[in-house]
Chains A and B, each alone.
Chain A
């Protein structure tokens, strides 16, 4: 995926990521790929305290990604009709919005 290789996923402002999907459904591809990116070594190394929890269900439910940030904000992404790129861009934009604030504050 060229979009994500440009900028690595920075998880510094993320507390927990809970991914749930039903693998026998046909609309889980984007959620699974999102899980791959978020659970990769590079992303994990940015924040070792961040938990990535995967739940595999079998109840024909929609795939859902629930992100809990450090400041208490929650991002809920329903991945049934979303592409991986959209999910990643939304997630990354929020991460970078929260993260450089802390970084810039520390630098100044």
Chain B
């Protein structure tokens, strides 16, 4: 029967009072060491000796600890204090920011890292290495969409919207959708980087601030202008129609152009006019002659008719 008596010593470095929970350590120690030695036996003796050695070692250690720490608290052996003070006072882990001790503050201030001052200020010279950032997947996706946009849609108009509510946008989108014009939004950075690589690099300065793209497969400029006139906050900046970059005034004049068939008719008539004029010039003399002969024949017939009437 071995009675193991344990002692738990809890120490707090920052606590004012160290409390030691001792559970009958000193009282039982001498008895423990003695009892294995008293009982003797063949096999049991060796075990007892080992246990005795171990226990004596542990208890010696514990007693040393106890002696060093609570030498004053427990002056006499076997004396336990009647009142055991509960650990209280300042804690290490607090909910608020604990003020740093002045000594620690001083230490931190002295050992603070001071970076070396650069000889040349940072923005003075451009960096030698050009930073090339890899574009994220989303940016690549947007660029692909833009490429498709410029390929599919003939008309790409750019407008700036100062302020438009969701309501205004909804109404405008509905109006434009009726004519087959779509409203697209793209981030300016992506747009500029795409345009600078592509053919349409001159459109890049248009994209400052909140911009909206109006795209349509057929260039329906008149309808777009009428819809934009109703929303005062949208300012048309420019458009790219049939791979030609137009300004706002250019767009207005484009809208005033007649339709393609009318223009073609005009062109054909204009070209044909020259040849018709030449043909008529060539045929003027024979025509004149034939007209004169006809007139003469008429006169002759009119003269003969009265003569025949007179004869009869």
Q: Which A positions have Cβ atoms within 8 angstroms of B?
A: 23-26, 28-29, 32-33, 35-36, 39-41, 44, 52, 54, 56-58
Contact = CB atoms under 8 A, between A and B. Distances in A.
B205 A26 contact: yes
Given A35-B162, A36-B210, A56 B235 contact: yes
Contacts of B146: none
Interface of B: 160, 162-163, 165, 202, 205-206, 208-210, 233, 235-238, 247-250
Contacts, number: 49
A36 B238 CA distance: 18
B162 A36 contact: yes
Contacts of B206: 23-24
Given A24-B202, A44-B163, A56-B235, A32 B208 contact: yes
A58 B249 contact: yes
A39 B249 contact: no
Given A24-B202, A24-B247, A25-B205, A39 B238 contact: no
B196 to A, nearest CB: 14
B181 to A, nearest CB: 19
Contacts of B235: 35, 54, 56
B160 A32 contact: yes
A19 to B, nearest CB: 9
A56 B236 contact: yes
Contact of B238 (A23, A32, A54): A23
B203 to A, nearest CB: 9
B205 A24 contact: yes
